[in-house]
Amino acid sequence: MYQFTGCPCSVCGKPLTDTDDIVVCPDCGAPYHRVCYENQGACVYADKHGSFEWTPPASARPEHKCPNCGAPNPESATRCSHCGYLFDNGQTPPPRVDASRQAQQPAGGGFNYARLYQEAQGGTWQSSAASAVEPIDGISGDDWATYIGPASPAYLREFARMQRYGRKSSVCFSALLFGPLYFFYRKAWKPAFAFLAVDLLLNLPALLELLVLSESSLAPAISSSTLILLAQIASILSFVVMVLSGMFAKYLYRRSAAERIRRIEAEFPEKAQREAVLRAQGGVSWAAVVGVFTAMVVAGALFSLLLGPNVEAVTSLLL
């Protein structure tokens, strides 16, 4: 049944309220104060009955605001006339449409791919997306985006989700596959060197086993069975470290980046200068990846010089 609060009485014209005694004409639905209707003695639209149905004026019709875009809709509407959101169905509201972006759509309809490409090349899409992100660890989305670089939309979305729900884990396949090299690539120096040191430590039993098998003079006085056991334990721990690296890499990168961004913000309060420093110290570093990889290859070559005369035993083990 329609709620008549705010509608004018069909006799006196005064808005009806929740406390009024309201009567409705059974033929056309026109509302009245009971006193007004009894004084009138009949419906004022009696001569139109049969072809007339009373409808509330637009100013008195209750509106249902869309929870997605805020646009007013008739109370009986099941779908928003502005954004198409379905009411009372439990669906997740679609992303809000930026009016300025909507205005950039081509006149013939469809998506303006040329505009999207131009914005992506110029960085305007990335900038507008970062500005809309809530501060993460007390740092604005713009500073985060400037520091992270082209991959910032994906990282900011994940960082915001982690902050909102208080989570620290988020799968990172790059760290899962490449371990410390991921952190060197992202310039997260502390976790990079920490994971590298752990990797070297866990490889130590296997290196000692190679010294024993090759009958090197530097081989420790440890039985082969003990070395094999240590190598197996180290292998299991290496797998655990690999999984932990993949699960917490983004959190560790976020902490490392936040620490550096705060230091830059404190030293360079002027925006233009701060952005230049953020770009220089942020982003990624292929040089660090190549440098670490080269150092590992050189270290492996130097270690081979420490092997004993029985190199065939080592070769057969490796093959």
Q: What is d(CA 278, CA 263) in angstroms, rounded to the nearest whole number? A: 10
Percentage of residues of the chain with pLDDT beyond 70: 75
Extents of the domains making up the chain: 173-318
The answer to whether 218 touches 283, Cβ cutoff 8 Å, is: no
Looking at the predicted structure, is the pLDDT value of residue 130 above 70? no
Q: What is the pLDDT of residue 84?
A: 67
Q: What is the pLDDT of residue 3?
A: 63
Looking at the predicted structure, is the pLDDT value of residue 105 above 60? no
Element (H, E) at 2: none
What mean pLDDT is predicted for residues 111-127? Answer: 48
Percentage of residues of the chain with pLDDT beyond 90: 45
Q: What is d(CA 200, CA 239) in angstroms, rounded to the nearest whole number? A: 14
201 Cβ contact list (under 8 Å, min separation 6)? none
- Chain centroid to CA 176: 20
Residue with tokens 């009373």: 54
pLDDT per position as a tens digit, 1-24: 456 777 889 899 888 887 888 888
pTM: 0.59
Q: What is d(CA 115, CA 77) in angstroms, rounded to the nearest whole number? A: 34
Of the ranges 12-26, 201-215, 270-284, which is most confident? 270-284
